[in-house]
């Protein structure tokens, strides 16, 4: 089907290959490039559509967001233009984070405003709960372990989302990661001054978030970073109860949401959620890192740095030009002077400045350099303050130097940061709800028969690890090293192995149905009896592995090549 984007069109649906709308005569190929197929949703200030980019090979899918002003008066057009430019600037500023849709294009055409974004295939949290029922305490903790580091990253880029809710969180089909969408209600920085002509009146009157999910200060046009913490807390209540804010009762005196009788979770989680949902912003958690600490799931440095791997060189150059980021970098203290006492927020700002301004943070080497820079800053601050071992909250990591040769034969030094956990440490953290173990070292551990489903092992070391019979469904092993690992009879359905090293791994009888194995090294891997139904894997990869007549091919049939 071809779909007409003219807001006044009475019959926008057209035949699949139509170029002109049969109802209103409008051109259907937007900007001679984007072929719109169907509407995805509609809100107060616009609508979203599924489209294909016909100028690129394979005509990849994308999402087109059309901002529709309520009228054509100069005031309304200016208001829409500011909202449009604000969202485009914000999406460009936060870059290509793995859990945020990429901005592909934006333009104005015939007094309509368009944003083109990466299409995220998957169900929203709202759809998941309606289809599968409420989440348990473990499920909610896993959700928080995925979303809180993302929220911390957004806030450190001085952005308040202002519309966090189940309908704006999608579990991506490809790798089961949570993706935050719809940055149309964002606010850049926290306003401390008086309202501007548009910034706090006309614009925010239309984009203050969703009632019930937005806290009182946001509804009063005074959002702060903690406003997103409140919305995330309301989302957790929805995940536990299946009830939206309008279905819940409120204390008429305090305005507090009355939810505690409806959930069956530990007292510890109740206390954390209660503080996330404080009506008074002063009593609420002030940052995502504070919530993670309270949950005993504080994100470690290298995992946070991992979020910058997908950033482009262009974004890096733009970030490096920000004078504020440069001003936040740590400075040496002249001899004889006493360094000023720093607050936890100032320390986080300094860490964020290093993350956001490092020009090489889009490479694996750059991530290690960022991590090393932050650890060095913390060590200097701790030494100046007279604290041993890097001070409270320091990150203890092991660095291994690898020597590689480039095409000219010169040596390149790469630093691989890997935090070591033993079997008990990993399982204890998992039972507490932690699911992010990127860049960790689990080599040689015995994890036979364990349940580690839905876990992020991105770029981790798992050489010769015993994972026989383990449940690793929906886990992320992207760029991980699993050489000679024992994965016999393991449940690896829907697991993500992009660029993973599985050389010599024992995968006999493993369930790899619908696993993503593109670019994985399968040289010498034993796939005898493995189930590869629907798996993303090439014939060349299979030719490098060991298979037999019991191996189930991606087409669902058994047999040799």
Tell me: the pLDDT tens digits for 482-518?
999 999 999 999 999 989 999 999 999 999 999 999 8
Q: Tell me the torsion sign for CA atoms 288, 293, 298, 304.
A: positive
pLDDT band (50, 70, 90) for residue 347: low
Position 234 pLDDT exceeds 60: yes
What pLDDT does residue 284 have?
95
What pLDDT does residue 208 have?
67
SS3 state at 558: strand
Which is catalytic among the residues 163, 175, 182, 476?
163
What pLDDT does residue 536 have?
92
Q: What is the mean predicted confidence (pLDDT) over 241-259?
A: 90
Q: Residue 168 carries which DSSP code?
A: G
pLDDT tens digit sequence for 458-484: 889 999 999 999 999 999 999 999 999
The number of C-alpha atoms within 13 Å of 138 and in the hemisphere containing its C-beta is 11
Q: Can you identify the CATH homologous superfamily of domain 2-118?
A: Phosphorylase Kinase; domain 1 (3.30.200.20)
pLDDT tens digit sequence for 137-156: 989 998 999 999 999 999 98
Position 134 pLDDT exceeds 90: yes
Of 317 and 425, the one with more pLDDT: 425
SS3 state at 412: strand
Q: What is the mean predicted confidence (pLDDT) over 294-319?
A: 48
What pLDDT does residue 18 have?
84
Report the distance separating Cα 87 and Cα 46, nearest Å. Answer: 13
122-294, CATH topology level? Transferase(Phosphotransferase); domain 1 (1.10.510)
What pLDDT does residue 369 have?
53
pLDDT tens digit sequence for 260-272: 999 999 999 999 9
What pLDDT does residue 418 have?
56
Task: Tell me which architecture the domain covering 418-561 has in CATH.
Answer: 3 Solenoid (2.160)
Average pLDDT of the residues of the chain: 77
Query: CB–CB of 181/168 below 8 Å?
Result: yes
Above pLDDT 70, what percent of the chain? 71
Please give the C-alpha separations between residue 242 and each of 95, 163, 239, in angstroms, as whole numbers: 33, 19, 6
Residue ranges covered by each domain of the chain = 2-118, 122-294, 301-333+342-396, 418-561
Backbone angles phi, psi at 116, to 5 degrees: -115, 125
pTM of the model: 0.55
pLDDT band (50, 70, 90) for residue 62: very high
What pLDDT does residue 130 have?
94
Q: Tell me the torsion sign for CA atoms 359, 361, 367, 372.
A: positive
H or E element: which one contains 544? helix 539-544
Q: Is 53 annotated in the active site?
A: no
Please give the C-alpha separations between residue 77 and each of 118, 203, 206, in angstroms, as whole numbers: 26, 11, 14
Position 333 pLDDT exceeds 60: no
What pLDDT does residue 148 have?
93
What pLDDT does residue 103 have?
87
Rg of the Cα atoms in the chain: 25
Q: Residue 389 carries which DSSP code?
A: G
| Low-confidence winner among 369-383, 404-418, 494-508 (lowest mean pLDDT) | 404-418
What pLDDT does residue 457 have?
92
Q: What is the mean predicted confidence (pLDDT) over 48-66?
A: 91
What pLDDT does residue 185 have?
62
SS3 state at 363: coil
pLDDT tens digit sequence for 182-226: 876 656 544 333 333 333 333 333 446 788 898 989 888 889 999
């Amino acid at each position: 089907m071809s779909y007409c984007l003219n807001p006044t069109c009475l019959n926008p649906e057209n035949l699949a290959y139509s170029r002109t709308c049969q109802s209103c005569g409008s051109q259907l190929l937007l900007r001679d490039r984007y072929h719109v197929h169907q509407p995805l949703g509609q809100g107060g200030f616009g609508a979203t559509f599924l489209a294909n980019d016909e100028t690129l090979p394979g005509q990849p899918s994308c999402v087109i967001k059309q901002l529709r002003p309520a009228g054509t008066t100069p005031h309304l057009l200016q208001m829409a233009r500011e909202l449009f430019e604000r969202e485009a600037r914000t999406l460009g500023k936060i870059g290509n984070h793995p859990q945020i849709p990429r901005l592909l294009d934006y333009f104005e055409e015939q007094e309509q405003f368009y944003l083109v974004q990466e299409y995220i295939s998957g169900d929203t949290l709202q759809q998941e709960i309606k289809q599968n029922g409420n989440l348990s305490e473990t499920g909610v903790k896993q959700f928080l372990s995925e979303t809180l580091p993302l929220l911390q990253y957004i806030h450190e880029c001085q952005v308040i989302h202002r519309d966090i809710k189940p309908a704006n969180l999608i579990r991506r089909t490809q790798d089961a990661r949570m993706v935050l969408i719809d940055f149309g209600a964002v606010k850049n920085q926290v306003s401390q001054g008086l309202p501007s002509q548009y910034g706090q009146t006309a614009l925010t009157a239309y984009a203050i978030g969703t009632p019930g999910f937005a806290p009182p200060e946001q509804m009063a046009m005074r959002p702060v970073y903690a406003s997103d913490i409140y919305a995330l807390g309301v989302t957790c209540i929805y995940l536990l109860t299946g009830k939206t804010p309008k279905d819940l009762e409120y204390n008429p005196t305090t305005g507090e949401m009355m939810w505690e009788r409806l959930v069956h979770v530990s007292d510890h989680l109740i206390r954390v959620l209660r503080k996330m949902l404080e009506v008074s912003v002063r009593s609420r958690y002030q940052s995502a890192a504070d919530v993670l600490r309270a949950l005993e799931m504080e994100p470690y440095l290298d995992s946070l740095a991992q979020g910058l791997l997908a950033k482009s060189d262009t974004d890096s150059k733009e970030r490096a030009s920000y004078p504020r980021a440069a001003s936040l970098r740590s400075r040496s203290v002249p001899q004889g002077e006493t360094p000023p006492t720093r607050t936890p927020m100032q320390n986080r700002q300094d860490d964020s400045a290093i993350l956001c301004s490092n020009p090489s943070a889009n490479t694996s080497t750059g991530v290690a350099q960022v991590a090393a820079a932050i650890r060095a800053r913390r060590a200097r601050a701790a030494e100046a303050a007279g604290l041993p071992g890097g001070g409270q909250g320091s990150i203890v990591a092991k660095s291994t130097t690898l020597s590689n040769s480039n095409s000219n034969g010169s040596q390149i030094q790469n630093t691989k940061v890997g935090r070591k956990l033993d079997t008990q440490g990993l399982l204890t953290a998992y039972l507490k709800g932690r699911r992010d173990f990127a860049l960790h070292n689990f080599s040689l551990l015995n994890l036979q028969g364990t349940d580690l489903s839905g876990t992020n092992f991105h770029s981790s070391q798992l050489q010769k690890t015993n994972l026989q019979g383990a449940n690793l469904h929906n886990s992320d092993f992207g760029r991980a090293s699993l050489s000679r690992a024992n994965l016999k009879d393991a449940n690896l359905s829907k697991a993500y192995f992009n660029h993973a090293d599985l050389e010599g791994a024992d995968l006999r009888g493993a369930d790899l149905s619908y696993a993503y194995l593109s670019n994985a090294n399968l040289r010498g891997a034993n796939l005898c009896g493995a189930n590869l139904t629907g798996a993303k894997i090439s014939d060349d990869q299979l030719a490098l592995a060991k298979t037999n007549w019991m191996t189930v091919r991606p087409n669902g049939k058994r047999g040799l090549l």
